[in-house]
């Protein structure tokens, strides 16, 4: 008997990525943790893995983004199916607390 769920697992090819996102400088520690948790949940709900994030803290921006000259930088590594990365980027683009993000595929 053909098992659709098993086929999805085989068809799903996890790839390794890094994400750097910048939160508004107005975000407090709880809001930073909430943003990290939101991204982590997105990845794990879709069968991916999410590594330990590195919060780089408040840093000066090279140019103003949404009238902000500083932002809170966060780096995280995760594994996810390539088709789900586009959805993640769309959700980050519409997020009010994330002022900029960059997802890159890591090369082993």
pLDDT on residue 107? 85
On whether residue 81 sits in a domain, the answer given is yes
Residue 73 belongs to a domain with what CATH number?
Answer: 3.30.70.60
On whether residue 8 sits in a domain, the answer given is no
On whether residue 18 sits in a domain, the answer given is yes
Structure tokens at 77: 């590594």
Give pTM, 2 decimals. Answer: 0.84
On whether residue 65 sits in a domain, the answer given is yes
Check pLDDT > 60 for residue 28: yes
Confidence of residue 27 (pLDDT cuts 50, 70, 90): very high
Cα torsion for 93, 97, 98, 99, to the nearest 10°? 90
Cβ-Cβ contacts under 8 Å for 73 (sequence gap 6 or more): 20, 21, 22, 55, 56, 57, 59
pLDDT on residue 12? 63
On whether residue 3 sits in a domain, the answer given is no
pLDDT on residue 3? 53
On whether residue 2 sits in a domain, the answer given is no
On whether residue 49 sits in a domain, the answer given is yes
pLDDT on residue 52? 95
Whose structure tokens read 């959805």?
Answer: 87
Higher local confidence (pLDDT), 22 or 12: 22
Q: Alpha carbon of 40 to those of 17, 46, 52: distances in Å?
A: 13, 10, 10
**Burial class of residue 1, CB neighbours in 10 A (0-12, 13-18, 19+):** exposed
Domain count, the chain: 1
Mean pLDDT of 28-44: 96
Domain that holds residue 74: 14-105
On whether residue 4 sits in a domain, the answer given is no
- Mean pLDDT of the chain, nearest integer: 90
How far is 75 from 98, CA to CA, in rounded Å? 13
């Amino acid at each position: 008997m053909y098992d659709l769920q098993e086929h999805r697992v085989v068809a799903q090819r996890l790839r390794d990525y890094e994400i750097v996102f910048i939160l508004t400088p107005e975000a407090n520690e709880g809001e930073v943790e909430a943003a990290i948790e939101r991204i982590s949940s997105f990845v794990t709900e879709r069968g991916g893995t999410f590594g330990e994030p590195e919060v780089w803290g408040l840093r000066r921006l090279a140019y103003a983004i949404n009238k902000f000259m500083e932002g809170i930088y966060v780096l995280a590594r995760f594994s996810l199916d390539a088709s789900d990365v586009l959805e993640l980027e769309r959700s980050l683009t519409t997020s009010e607390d994330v002022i900029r993000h960059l997802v890159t595929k890591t090369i082993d």
